[in-house]
Chains A and B, each alone.
Chain A
């Protein structure tokens, strides 16, 4: 078996293809993405709204038809699997949602919410539910209450307990702390880190918050308009980013230090229309160092090195967009 628990190869998800009512516009929401999750490790996926990260997640759970490529979960390609096989693989990969206010059924008690996946799988065990809730820090007395009596942080604990009920090996976390207050975010991040080392979980941690990703991830992938533009080990990527987009993202994030030197390479403009992307490098319309070649050819992400960027001029980016 490969060293990866999940391996996505050249995945593409295109919307609005052929058909009688087709507008002729094809949106390439995900366009040639490859990524790997390792046991006990966290891959951080960073990108702004509309970059395709949600579509990517949906495709991992078989919730959207895949145009091209493969998604192997424990060596089995789920894009080519039967429904029942997908269901079985599905228990090994679970999801934690962003909004703990809408992800929990308001009519169920917290105990029932965590018990539900176990009931569906036919192995309900009250003791196991109690242990799960205890592990994520929800007291036994709270377990009989409904989510409305819980704060955002407590709800997210319940969401994590539910995701862990079937003993998965992979958690996909979609902005799991974005809706939480600063003082609570750290509690949840610490809980996730503890669970990971105890259970050897692999995390795909999707977030727009660079500070959070920098804290929790081992490897980071940066997505822009359906493609991964840079990937690498966390420290390399954050200390020596090679893609101009990554550099701009890092420079745009506010720094909580008054009087900190502000070298803002504030990006001009907005992401282009995904149905009508620019030729060549899709970032070139906003890129401060774009050259003629960027419009003519599309840069590829190198597959051979641990840290690589889909950019023709990473050294120019390093020189001209240096941050203090």
Chain B
């Protein structure tokens, strides 16, 4: 089932994954630090959802929590993660393993480290197949060869006998995609799947991923910092900033009529060849240790200047029409002015 990237799904399409008010914290010597702060969203059957955010925005942690793979020292203190109506938080490891890798497939950023360097690629993939299916080694390998062929690995029977270091980065990432597909998952989660790859190889891998997704009819959550990848591949997107969702909605709507000043700033800072100066959002994202009390974007925001509500009161995600939601006190007010910020007026002498 192909979803044109320009349309969102109707409400009748069943929800696969529903994350509600998720809070992830870590303990530090100076107390608890909140890394993901009340994130809610859902993923429907067959849709491509893109989570866009900069490093430290919490986009990867959110999806690691969904997979039950949070690093040691991090914990969920609030919220719920429902997979087809079943609560995943608090699920026993054994039950979680039955879902992870079977119903939910995962693709991580670095194809160099996602494979065991000491084992032949084919055997590793066969293990993923046998983990969830009662087949013998030979049948599993046959399935692996078929999968590798689907993702465009030439001569899979020969290549499968090689070790990961004998594969190029692009080919390794194809192997990872094949492994994620092994058990016909209903949801694929891909975290920066092409960031480590060259641009021509990136294009190959993204089209492989899209073809794989279409064949399975599965949903895809694509985590990326690249707005170009989001525009080309997603039907819906979430923009995260400092552990929170600041805007969500249909990709076309968000790109054409962004309502949150951060989204507007990100889109304005896309480099245009016709401009002398690039538009730069001034300042730096806050550390999660001292996130502002109100809106986390307030210190860098062109709209907030001096508004007490921004520095004191945390804005909640609010409907803006056309399925777009954003967390800003002034999204219906002076925001169009913010779009007017153009390169010439960008503050550059800001001290960091």
Contact = CB atoms under 8 A, between A and B. Distances in A.
Interface of A: 48-49, 137-139, 142, 151-154, 157, 181-187, 189-191, 193-194, 208, 210-212, 214-215, 234-235, 238, 248-249, 251-260, 262, 264, 266-268, 270
B271 A186 contact: yes
Given A238-B273, A267-B200, A256 B255 contact: yes
Contacts of A257: 231, 255
A260 B272 CA distance: 16
A142 to B, nearest CB: 7
5 contacts: A142-B352, A184-B280, A211-B271, A235-B273, A254-B203
Contacts of B200: 48, 248-249, 252, 266-267
Given A137-B351, A214-B273, A252 B203 contact: yes
Nearest to B272: A215
B190 to A, nearest CB: 14
A183 B280 contact: yes
A157 B283 CA distance: 13
Interface residues of B, number: 52
Nearest to B171: A270
A31 B198 CA distance: 21
A254 B232 contact: yes
B198 A49 contact: yes
B216 interface: no
Given A212-B271, A255-B232, A270-B201, A183 B265 contact: yes
A151 B288 CA distance: 13
A139 to B, nearest CB: 5
B346 interface: yes
B93 interface: no
Contacts of B74: none
Contacts of B279: 186
Interface in B213-268: 225-232, 251-252, 255-256, 265-267
B226 to A, nearest CB: 6
B227 to A, nearest CB: 4
Nearest to B203: A252
A191 B200 CA distance: 30
A316 B256 CA distance: 36
B251 A266 contact: no
B162 interface: no
Given A248-B200, A258-B252, A215 B352 contact: no
Contact of A194 (B199, B206, B272, B348): B348
A302 to B, nearest CB: 25
Contact of A48 (B198, B225, B349): B198
B54 A181 contact: yes
B77 interface: no
Contact of A214 (B171, B271, B277): B271
Given A215-B272, A264-B207, 6 more contacts: A186-B278, A251-B203, A254-B226, A255-B232, A256-B228, A266-B200
